[in-house]
Amino acid sequence: MEQVSISIDASVASRIIQREFDRLLNYAAIEHAPSGVPYLGSYWPEQGGYNAGLVRGEDGAPDYYLIVPLLNEQLRATWGGSGEEVEGATSASDGLANTRALLADRNEHPAAKLASEFIADGHADFYLPARRELQLAEANVPELFEKAYHWSSSQRSAYYAYDMDFEGGWLGGNHKGNEFLVRPVRRFIP
């Protein structure tokens, strides 16, 4: 095997090494944390919880940060409305729209009601997250969640709704009559 040698000026090599060292040390600060946005998993002062990540807005809606509060006690409820499909509660991504549809429905939906009644840092705009919002939280901040099933606001059928298992990381569908954990979330639009 032929050996190849490359010669490089020491000052150029030093600048290259220093630039790479600076880039690696400051990677998150320079490229991923816009001014005033806490790092993933960090508490966001005056926003009611922790930064779970940026969610892309759909159909022209603005992007938003998902805020996940810490709870003093675990909230548990059934999804509710078993045997009925709720029009407007099928979005995979828009938990706020799903929650509004569930609250407007003639049947009771305890998980959505519980999430919508949560207040933190003076914010009363919490809702039951959609399945993709829970998937984002599971990917970015699983340590903020109890290792158990959590309801989403995304309906699967007349008898089933989506849930996220924070122990195994699985998205599933369970009977709306089951009692699981409820984790309110809210949006922050910069």
Contact 163, 173 (CB under 8 A): yes
Q: For the whole model, what pTM was predicted?
A: 0.81
* pLDDT band, very low/low/confident/very high, at 32 (cuts 50, 70, 90): very low
Q: Could you report the per-residue pLDDT of 114-144, keeping only the tens digit for each?
A: 999 999 999 999 999 999 999 999 999 999 9
pLDDT above 70 coverage of the chain, percent: 82
Greater pLDDT, 44 or 24: 44
For residue 31, give both structure tokens: 């490229």
Please report the pLDDT score of residue 149 as a whole number: 98
Please report the pLDDT score of residue 59 as a whole number: 87
Backbone φ and ψ for 162, nearest 5 degrees, come out as -80, 145
Using alpha carbons, select from 157, 75, 71 the residue that is nearest to residue 112. Answer: 75
**Whether the predicted pLDDT of 19 surpasses 70:** no
* pLDDT band, very low/low/confident/very high, at 190 (cuts 50, 70, 90): confident
**Whether the predicted pLDDT of 62 surpasses 90:** yes
* pLDDT band, very low/low/confident/very high, at 36 (cuts 50, 70, 90): confident
Residue range 55-76: mean pLDDT, rounded: 94
- Residue 159 CB burial class (10 angstroms; 0-12, 13-18, ≥19): middle
